[in-house]
Homo-oligomer: A and B are copies of this chain.
Amino acid sequence: METAKYIERNIPDFELLTEEALQVIEENAEIVLEEIGVNFVNNPGALARWKEAGAEIEGERVRIPRGLARKLCATAPSRFTQVARNPAKNVEIGGRNLVLAPVYGPPFVHDAMGGRRYATLEDFRNFVKLGQMSRWLHHSGGTVCEPTDIPVNKRHLDMLHSHMTLSDKPFMGSVTEPSRAQDSVDMCGVLFGEAFVQQNTVMTSLININSPLTFDDVMMGALEVYAANNQACIISPFIVGGAMAPVSVAGTLTQVLAEVLAGVAYSQLVRPGAPVIFGAFVTSIDMNSGAPTFGTPEAAQITYGAGQLARRLGLPYRSAGSFNGSKLPDAQAAYETSNTLNNGLLAGVNFMLHSCGWLEGGLVASYEKFVMDADQLGVLHKMAAGVSVDESAQAMDALREVGPGGHYLGCAHTQAHFKTAFWRSELLDYKPFETWSEEGGRDTMQLASDRVRKLLDSYQKPEMDPATAEALAAFVAEKKAAVPDSFM
């Protein structure tokens, strides 16, 4: 199946917050950075960089004078190209574009046949295959699920190897140890050539901020490796509203902006010009159960507002996804997901991680939901294309030809355009009730289950130069042999 080009929006963004509200938040974020500050934990190098840049250091606390962080952010590019091994699948991140990547991080998988279980490398490989075959998915992602059967200290090698060989779309690197980030860079050197990697961005990796206002050494260590090697990072507050941020939208946006300003500024201290993305992972806590909730109006408001703040800062923006808290790919999962996908499109998101496959608050990668969401991503493509009013779209000939009381099914305009006029799901049911009923009365999960099987059965590995394939396999084997297994 051919992969669609990343989305180039031909529609406006939804500007939820007023100019005045945005100014209040920007002012408050500067106060947070200057008066409260942020912690860089176990990271003397970072403290030294900050001190030299003019920040006030007290223990691990970094207080950043008004305007300094924003000024440092100015060297970050407003858009960048992430190169794929198939150059037709390069993506341009930033501007009016939207790049879609799959779910990231779940330790469990779920499918209709086998239920919920720990994820394995086989699952991981299956999700990469499904991603490769998804028309509306531009990016292969990163930890599409945790291959829990592989030692923790070696997983990243198998994951990268799967992305590199089973897909020809762009992918993400490891962030769980600085050394694994370096392995990711080195392995990209094998795939793309070392010099090429230094001159091109070939990975976009996820650096979470330990909200509130804390930058831990593992994530910062990975960021340092990637920035030094000109590889892109999403610098992303991880917000469960009410727990890691205030219960109000404006308060949360203030914290998100302060955190991103500090994180992006730090990336530019490591290497001015390093490509970064303004991230915002947002959910809120259910005050009755303590569970995170998804597809809620407050999360949408924060996503809209953070998009406005990112544009004012001139940075690419990452947010939204196929978020939901359901245990099954059912109506709850779809309501919450659809709320969030629509929100993400109109909020001006440039890179949407988790755009398909997310279930149960991110604990689960769902096979069925992966293909259900991936199908819905087609809606975003068509919506973003906007509305033409060229002569053909005006259809005045059709209106004249048909006239009052007629129908348009056979008119010349319809005949000329019906094949491309309407977006059409490749999954959902459009059949008459009787046909649907005779065919077993399948619900969406069952239709998706059939589609998963069909896709995996017909998967074809993208071609790769045999020498490169061999070198990649050798790199993985050598790295794995060098250290004992660890599941810690």
Q: Indicate with 1 or 0, residue by residue over A67-86, a CB within 8 angstroms of chain B CB atoms.
A: 00000000000000000000
A413 near B246 with CB under 8 A, answer yes
* Segment at the B interface, from A191-199, A226-234, A331-339: A331-339
Q: Is A386 an interface residue (CB 8 A)?
A: yes
* Segment at the B interface, from A17-25, A139-147, A453-461: A17-25
Contact of A14 among B14, B293, B419 (CB under 8 A): B14
A288 near B339 with CB under 8 A, answer no
A213 near B422 with CB under 8 A, answer no
Contact of A305 among B12, B336, B387 (CB under 8 A): B387
- In the assembled complex, the CB of A432 is this many whole angstroms from the nearest CB of chain B, namely 7
- In the assembled complex, the CB of A267 is this many whole angstroms from the nearest CB of chain B, namely 19
A404 near B38 with CB under 8 A, answer yes
The residues of B that contact A399 with a CB separation of less than 8 Å are 28, 32, 36, 212, 246, 251, 254-255
A297 near B383 with CB under 8 A, answer yes
Q: Is A417 an interface residue (CB 8 A)?
A: yes
- In the assembled complex, the CB of A478 is this many whole angstroms from the nearest CB of chain B, namely 39
A28 near B338 with CB under 8 A, answer no
Contact of A331 among B243, B330, B421 (CB under 8 A): B330
Most interface-central of A291, A331, A437 (chain B CB within 10 A): A331
B327 near A406 with CB under 8 A, answer no
A333 vs B17: C-alpha distance when bound (angstroms): 31
A404 near B36 with CB under 8 A, answer yes
The residues of B that contact A246 with a CB separation of less than 8 Å are 395, 398-399, 408, 413-414
A346 vs B342: C-alpha distance when bound (angstroms): 11
A39 vs B389: C-alpha distance when bound (angstroms): 27
The residues of B that contact A152 with a CB separation of less than 8 Å are none
A328 vs B431: C-alpha distance when bound (angstroms): 13
A293 near B430 with CB under 8 A, answer yes
Q: Is A382 an interface residue (CB 8 A)?
A: yes
Q: Which chain A residues (338-373) contact chain B, with CB distance < 8 Å?
A: 338-339, 342-343, 346, 360, 363, 369, 372
A36 near B331 with CB under 8 A, answer no
B248 near A39 with CB under 8 A, answer no
Q: Is A242 an interface residue (CB 8 A)?
A: yes
Contact of A423 among B14, B291, B296, B445 (CB under 8 A): B296
Q: Is A487 an interface residue (CB 8 A)?
A: no
Given contacts A376-B335, A430-B289, contact A28 B396 (CB under 8 A): yes
Most interface-central of A343, A380, A393, A406 (chain B CB within 10 A): A393
Interface residues of A (CB under 8 A from B): 11-12, 14-17, 20-21, 24-25, 28, 31-32, 35-39, 61, 116, 210, 212-214, 241-252, 254-255, 284-289, 291, 293, 295-298, 300-301, 305, 325-339, 342-343, 346, 360, 363, 369, 372, 376, 379-383, 385-389, 392-396, 398-400, 402-409, 413-414, 417-419, 421-425, 428-433, 436-437, 441, 443-445, 448
Starting from the known contacts A247-B418, A331-B445, A339-B342, 12 additional A-B residue pairs (CB-CB under 8 Å) come to A32-B396, A38-B404, A248-B421, A250-B393, A251-B393, A293-B424, A297-B380, A297-B383, A327-B437, A328-B443, A331-B331, A339-B379
